[in-house]
Amino acid sequence: MNQAKSIRPDRTERVLGALALVMLVAMLAAIARGQPHWHEIPALVWFHLLTIGIALAITPLQMWLARGTMQHRVLGWAWSAAMFATAVISFGIRLTNDGRLSAIHVLSAVTVIGVPMLVLGARRRDLVRHRRSARGLVIGALLIAGFFTFPFGRLMGRWLFG
């Protein structure tokens, strides 16, 4: 497979971009519906929502647009910083589970390790490794972790579904 073809978005990446967009819309809808309770939310949670919102907004662009461009690199750095910050911030958020870390924090640990691996793959121009890391982080750290913020009485689910 030639390099030009290998870096074009494929079906999986188009779907991942669309799912990130759906997650962003769900997050924004939950935040809007939760407006009466905004004053109850600690600043750290708001910062967490901001950083994950940035990552969710950038994901479709990174998945759908041309790779290897300056735009892809700049957005990639922004996405990586947002994901890393989101993961680190999450360790300070302990509103459930009697103040202890919960199972979702495993994905935060994976992200803290995975983001540098993603950047390393890009810097070494190891496109296979970089693409695999990007997909893995989008699936695990963004979509799966994001999904689990809605059920089980968690904040986003309470806000979105009432």
* Three-class secondary structure of residue 154 per DSSP: coil
CA distance 152 to 117: 32
Read off the pLDDT band of 42 (50, 70, 90): very high
Q: Tell me the pLDDT tens digit for each residue of 71-97.
A: 999 999 999 999 999 999 999 987 666
Where do the structural domains in the chain lie, given as residue ranges?
11-161
Q: Tell me the pLDDT tens digit for each residue of 113-129.
A: 999 999 999 999 999 99
* Three-class secondary structure of residue 10 per DSSP: coil
Q: Is the pLDDT of residue 1 over 50?
A: no
Could you give the C-alpha distances from 98 to 10, 16, 146, 158, in angstroms and in order? 43, 33, 21, 18
Q: Specify the pTM.
A: 0.90
Read off the pLDDT band of 102 (50, 70, 90): confident
Helix axes 127-136, 105-123, angle to 10 degrees: 160
Read off the pLDDT band of 6 (50, 70, 90): low
- Alpha helices by DSSP H, listed for the chain, are 3-6, 11-33, 43-64, 70-90, 105-123, 127-136, 145-147, 155-161
CA distance 70 to 66: 10
User: Mean pLDDT for the chain?
Assistant: 92
Return the number of other C-beta atoms located less than 10 Å from residue 45's C-beta.
16
